[in-house]
């Protein structure tokens, strides 16, 4: 028989959207929604189509805004930039080899490349007819390996991530041994009303009439082939399950009827999930075809998936991804609308097992052991009056509220016979007839209530704000905002506890006495304190208590166990004391147990059960409940080197410049037990915490080993270690060969430099010796020229004066005067030579001081007006011995000539620096001389000689009756060298 046309599976999606209604039926009692993941938690969109768990434990979630990978704590989105061809990801499918495929809307399938951390289109470079991809495809994992995507127009088959040729019908094919079979549905006649199932082998085709459709009934039929079964979904709520039979009849048919119209079917392990037009999911056992559970609620479910831990994930139309779990907790939500009425403030169970829960609206629910429910109001109109606690005594129930203390929900407890005690916050049972309660009252807020007479008495304690109560023997412990205090009931005395410990002044939030007579005290920001005999024995400053302070404490009958509620949920503490050493473990109940996301207001223990008053009901927890240890695996999911993404690997060989690393990790546990990561680098035995899931490193050249482990919410470090290796190549300038070459070059250069330095020193010594010799010769020449000639004149004057002493007295007197003048000149010249050679601190006169002193003595004594301007920097410029002497002598010669010959009445002397030259300018207003006259005196000749000796230029300008100007221009470089010896 000719194979009939397979009905388009696109109609399933059509119905899925057409019947977008919110279901109102309740979730089956054996599973419970414990958490919703939406865009607020990092999900890409609240419209989720499907999800799938990969071999590493990641949950892949297909949405209308890309696909997300979820490790239990962090979502990572993949969209167009990461290779996803269309953001509408309808399906996520895992192939037998673990490859993750996604099926997108009208853009075909693609697979995830883990090394590149992106999706790859396997048809990108394939030449084929692709128009049928524009119709929605549906994917199916092939048992023999590979995957097929098909619709009514055709199919594509991939093996090893590559397109393979196909004869068609692979989507409806199955094998028995090596024999292939095909199973499909169809109508023999176009427009016919008979609906058949077909079973085809290599040699024959069998058919089976499933039903005959009424022509006037506008119903639909959708077929899905799953593994080796053909499912036909009808708009009447009927499901046909057709399978090959080996009992003579070719077919085995099972019919199922559900209350809603089925529109889509998916296989999930050993279960088959049938989605309906009302947003519910019916779960059937695949092997036995029996109904298991219905998933529904105030959401529209697109599909569901069960992970390896048994969690059920529901993909919804607009509520995101919902997590359901077969919880060990029972949740009591007895009140109707509004839902906030189930926000319980207190919980209590009497010795008979009757449960009481009080809310914030003055209402108390009572549930008896046989599950009968009664409701009570503690105020006539039900308004106000939060129920803050409940206790039992003398077979009566005492309710503590802001409105007062009620007995059996009827009678108010009074102080004496009149005053009503209000604003009671805490209460404990002291003995079989006395309750102790605390409230807010400036006259004292501690009361004892006689449960027989139903009257209260105010105890004599100072006014303190009491936050918690606990009793041990005759003592009542009061936790306050200012520390811990103890009241002696028998002696009526009041004292502070823990005065010399960190407990002093701490704000107390909870107190309880455990069966081993230990008093446990919880503080707001200073951890837990354990007391015995009124002394602090142990202080628990665990970060898990400091970051999430304990709000309530509750003992149990189990030795070494204590329950606590924190801002983050509930936890139990297992402790032991051996040889005085206190040890403990803390186990938090996370969202899998259904309590971590609730704000828990009260806790109570009775009959091996823990009762939690939470914001969404009363949770009943087995007191011996244990949380399984999850050995969370850590994976490197992203790495950037110098802000450039690298493929994920276990070892990296990097250049010397690739030293800045950004690594992102995932601790895969989709149950949500991951808390944080720790790491160690190289041989460091200590571990550091990673903030978030990203670690930034700056590595030095060399070989590095990074070890990362996950830590769960209970502080247990995973045994699985992620080890990464990094080899940062040494820069060439730090390599051995480069260091040897550089060292050799440095040694050679140093040797040459030292040798050259030695030669330079020798040359400098030779040059210094030459300068000394030159200076010695110059001094000798000066002594010979100036002083020698003058001494010769003295010798002549002395001889002549001696011969004329008795002959010509007047002439002898003249000669003696000349001897005196020449002697003074000799002294002056010798003084100039000595002064020029002593350029140190012992030489008190600087160049400008010596010139000014000389000019003042010579011109001042002759009443010639003068003006001297010597620039301040001249003393620093004129440093050379010869320059110091010559500059001074040039000025002296000029001044002496002015005094002797010019008849001037005014002299101006300027010495300054202009550019790279020292300028000496001496001007007088004397008689001058003609321009063409050439003075031949020794003074002018000496001035010119001294100027040229310093490498300068000497100039003289004069006009009759207009004065004379003498200029000396000397290069600064020739006079600033101070060294001679």
Of these ranges, 285-299, 413-427, 817-831, the one predicted with the greatest mean pLDDT is 285-299
Percent of the chain past pLDDT 90, that is, above it, reads 44
Cβ-proximal residues to 808 (8 Å cutoff; 6+ apart), any chain: none
Could you tell me the pLDDT band of residue 664, with boundaries at 50, 70 and 90?
very high
Q: Dump pLDDT digits (tens) for 904-937.
A: 889 999 999 998 899 999 999 988 888 677 666 7
Could you tell me the pLDDT band of residue 503, with boundaries at 50, 70 and 90?
confident
Could you tell me the pLDDT band of residue 835, with boundaries at 50, 70 and 90?
low
- Structure token digits, residue 671: 């149950």
**Which whole number is the average pLDDT over 240-268?**
91
**What is the C-alpha to C-alpha distance for residues 562 and 574, in angstroms, rounded to an integer?**
7
Judge whether 437 and 444 are in contact, CB under 8 Å: no
**What is the C-alpha to C-alpha distance for residues 471 and 476, in angstroms, rounded to an integer?**
4
**What is the C-alpha to C-alpha distance for residues 927 and 894, in angstroms, rounded to an integer?**
15
Our CA angle for 199, 159, 13, nearest 5°, is 60
Could you tell me the pLDDT band of residue 191, with boundaries at 50, 70 and 90?
low
**Which whole number is the average pLDDT over 6-34?**
39
Residue 714 CA to its chain's centroid (Å): 22
The full DSSP string for 827-884 is HHHHHHHHHHH--STT----HHHHHHHHHHHHHHHTT-EEEEEE-TTHHHH--SHHHH
**What pLDDT sits at residue 26?**
34
Could you tell me the pLDDT band of residue 782, with boundaries at 50, 70 and 90?
low
Question: Does residue 6 surpass a pLDDT of 50?
Answer: no
**What pLDDT sits at residue 16?**
30
**What is the C-alpha to C-alpha distance for residues 587 and 736, in angstroms, rounded to an integer?**
54
**What pLDDT sits at residue 8?**
32
Question: Does residue 382 surpass a pLDDT of 50?
Answer: no
Q: Dump pLDDT digits (tens) for 791-830.
A: 666 666 676 666 766 677 777 777 677 677 667 667 666 7
**What pLDDT sits at residue 961?**
85
**Which whole number is the average pLDDT over 778-794?**
62
**What is the C-alpha to C-alpha distance for residues 360 and 719, in angstroms, rounded to an integer?**
45
**What is the C-alpha to C-alpha distance for residues 171 and 869, in angstroms, rounded to an integer?**
112
Cβ-proximal residues to 272 (8 Å cutoff; 6+ apart), any chain: 226, 231, 265, 266, 283, 284, 285, 286
**What pLDDT sits at residue 333?**
75
Percent of the chain past pLDDT 70, that is, above it, reads 85
CA dist 669 → 577, 675, 676, 681 (Å): 33, 10, 12, 25
Q: Which of 366-370, 570-574, 768-772 has the lowest mean pLDDT?
A: 768-772
**Which whole number is the average pLDDT over 612-641?**
85
**What is the C-alpha to C-alpha distance for residues 953 and 965, in angstroms, rounded to an integer?**
14
Q: Dump pLDDT digits (tens) for 523-544.
A: 887 888 999 988 888 888 776 6
Judge whether 242 and 251 are in contact, CB under 8 Å: yes
**What is the C-alpha to C-alpha distance for residues 776 and 535, in angstroms, rounded to an integer?**
99
Longest alpha-carbon distance in the chain: 182
Could you tell me the pLDDT band of residue 5, with boundaries at 50, 70 and 90?
very low
Q: Is the model more confident about 801 or about 784?
A: 801
The reply to whether the predicted model has a pTM over 0.85 is: no
Judge whether 46 and 40 are in contact, CB under 8 Å: no
**What pLDDT sits at residue 309?**
85
Q: Dump pLDDT digits (tens) for 700-741.
A: 999 999 999 999 877 788 999 999 999 999 887 777 788 888
b/e burial code for range 772-797 (CB count within 10 A of at least 16 → b):
eeebeeebeebeeebbeebeebbeeb
Average per-residue pLDDT in the chain? 84
**What is the C-alpha to C-alpha distance for residues 977 and 919, in angstroms, rounded to an integer?**
17
Residue 445's DSSP bridge partners are none
Cβ-proximal residues to 341 (8 Å cutoff; 6+ apart), any chain: 335, 359, 361, 363
**What is the C-alpha to C-alpha distance for residues 406 and 282, in angstroms, rounded to an integer?**
49
- Structure token digits, residue 352: 């008979």
Q: Dump pLDDT digits (tens) for 543-566.
A: 665 556 677 888 888 889 999 887
């Amino acid at each position: 028989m000719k194979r009939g046309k397979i009905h388009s599976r696109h109609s399933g999606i059509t119905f899925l959207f057409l019947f977008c209604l919110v279901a109102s039926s309740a979730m089956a009692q054996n599973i419970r929604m414990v958490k919703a993941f939406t865009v607020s938690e990092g999900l890409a969109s609240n419209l989720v189509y499907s999800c799938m768990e990969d071999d590493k434990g990641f949950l892949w979630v297909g949405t209308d805004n890309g696909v997300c990978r979820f490790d239990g704590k962090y979502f990572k989105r993949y969209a167009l930039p990461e290779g996803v061809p269309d953001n509408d990801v309808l399906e996520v499918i895992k192939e037998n080899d673990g490859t993750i495929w996604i099926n997108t809307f009208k853009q075909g399938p693609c697979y995830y490349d883990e090394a590149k951390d992106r999706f790859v289109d396997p048809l990108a470079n394939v030449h084929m007819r692709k128009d049928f991809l524009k119709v929605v495809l549906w994917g199916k994992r092939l048992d023999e390996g590979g995957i097929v995507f098909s619709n009514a127009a055709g199919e594509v088959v991939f093996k090893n991530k590559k397109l393979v040729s196909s004869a068609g019908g692979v989507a409806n094919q199955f094998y028995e041994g090596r024999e292939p079979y095909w199973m499909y549905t169809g109508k023999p006649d176009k427009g016919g009303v008979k609906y058949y199932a077909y079973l085809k082998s290599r040699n024959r085709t069998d058919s089976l009439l499933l039903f005959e459709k009424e022509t006037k009934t506008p119903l639909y039929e959708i077929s899905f082939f799953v593994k080796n079964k053909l499912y036909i979904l009808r708009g009447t709520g009927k499901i046909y399950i057709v399978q090959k039979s080996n009992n003579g009849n070719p077919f085995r048919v099972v019919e199922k009827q559900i209350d809603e119209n089925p529109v889509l079917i998916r296989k999930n392990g050993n279960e088959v999930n049938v989605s309906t037009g009302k947003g519910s999911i019916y779960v059937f056992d695949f092997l036995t075809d029996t109904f298991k559970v219905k998933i529904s609620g105030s959401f529209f479910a697109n599909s569901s998936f069960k992970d390896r831990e048994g969690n059920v994930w529901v993909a919804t139309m607009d509520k995101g991804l919902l997590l359901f779990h077969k919880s060990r907790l029972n949740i009591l939500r007895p009140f109707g609308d509004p839902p906030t009425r189930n926000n319980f403030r207190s919980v209590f169970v009497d010795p008979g097992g009757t449960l009481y829960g009080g809310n914030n609206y003055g209402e108390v629910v009572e549930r008896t052991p046989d599950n009968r429910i009664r409701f009570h109001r503690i105020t006539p109109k039900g308004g106000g009056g939060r129920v803050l606690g409940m206790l039992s005594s003398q077979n009566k129930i005492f309710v503590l509220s802001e409105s007062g203390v009620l007995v059996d929900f009827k009678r108010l407890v009074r102080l004496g016979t009149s005053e009503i005690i209000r604003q009671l916050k805490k209460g404990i049972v002291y003995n079989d007839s006395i309750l102790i309660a605390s409230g807010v009252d400036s006259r004292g807020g501690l009361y004892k209530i006689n449960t027989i007479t139903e009257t209260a008495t105010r105890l004599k304690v100072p006014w303190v704000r009491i936050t918690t109560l606990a009793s041990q023997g005759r003592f009542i412990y009061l936790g306050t905002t200012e520390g811990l205090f103890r009241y002696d009931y028998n002696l009526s005395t009041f004292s502070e506890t823990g005065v010399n410990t960190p407990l002093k002044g701490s704000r107390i939030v909870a107190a309880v006495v455990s069966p081993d007579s230990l008093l446990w005290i919880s503080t707001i920001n200073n951890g837990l304190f354990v007391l015995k005999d009124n002394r602090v024995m142990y202080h628990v400053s665990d970060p898990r208590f400091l970051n999430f302070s304990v709000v309530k404490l509750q003992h149990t009958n189990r030795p070494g166990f204590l329950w606590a509620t924190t801002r983050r949920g509930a936890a139990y503490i297992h402790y032991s004391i051996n040889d005085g050493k206190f040890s403990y473990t803390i186990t938090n109940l996370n969202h899998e147990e259904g309590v971590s996301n609730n704000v828990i207001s009260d806790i109570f223990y009775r009959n091996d059960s823990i009762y939690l008053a939470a914001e969404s009901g009363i949770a009943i927890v087995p007191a011996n409940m244990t949380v399984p240890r999850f050995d969370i695996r850590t994976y490197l999911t992203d790495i950037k080197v110098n802000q450039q993404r690298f493929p994920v690997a276990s070892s990296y060989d990097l250049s010397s410049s690739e030293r800045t690393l950004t690594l992102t990790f995932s601790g895969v546990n989709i149950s949500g037990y991951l808390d944080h990561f720790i790491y160690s680098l190289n041989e460091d035995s200590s571990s550091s915490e990673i903030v978030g899931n990203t670690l930034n490193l700056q590595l030095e050249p060399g070989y590095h080993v990074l070890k990362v482990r996950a830590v769960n919410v209970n502080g247990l470090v995973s045994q699985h270690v992620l080890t990464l290796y990094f080899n940062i190549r040494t820069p060439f300038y730090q390599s051995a060969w480069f260091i040897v070459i550089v060292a050799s070059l440095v040694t050679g250069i140093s040797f040459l430099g030292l040798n050259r330095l030695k030669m330079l020193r020798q040359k400098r010594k030779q040059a210094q010796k030459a300068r000394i010799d030159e200076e010695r010769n110059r001094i000798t020449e000066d002594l010979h020229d100036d002083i020698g000639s003058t001494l010769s004149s003295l010798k002549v004057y002395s001889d002549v004066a001696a011969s004329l002493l008795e002959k010509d007295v007047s002439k002898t007197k003249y000669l003696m005067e000349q001897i005196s003048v020449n002697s003074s000149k000799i002294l002056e010249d010798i003084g100039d030579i000595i002064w020029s050679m002593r350029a140190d601190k012992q030489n008190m006169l600087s160049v400008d001081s010596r010139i000014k002193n000389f000019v003042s003595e010579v011109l001042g004594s002759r009443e010639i007006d003068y003006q001297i301007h010597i620039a301040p920097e001249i003393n620093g410029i004129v440093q050379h011995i010869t320059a110091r002497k010559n500059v001074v002598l040039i000025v002296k010669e000029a001044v002496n000539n002015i005094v002797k010959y010019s008849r001037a009445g005014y002299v101006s002397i300027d010495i300054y620096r202009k550019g790279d030259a020292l300028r000496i300018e001496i001007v007088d207003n004397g008689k001058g001389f003609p321009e063409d006259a050439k003075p031949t005196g020794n003074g002018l000749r000496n001035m010119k000689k001294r100027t040229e000796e310093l490498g300068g230029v000497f100039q003289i300008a004069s006009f009759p009756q207009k004065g004379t100007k003498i200029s000396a221009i000397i290069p600064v470089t020739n006079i600033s060298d101070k060294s001679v010896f």
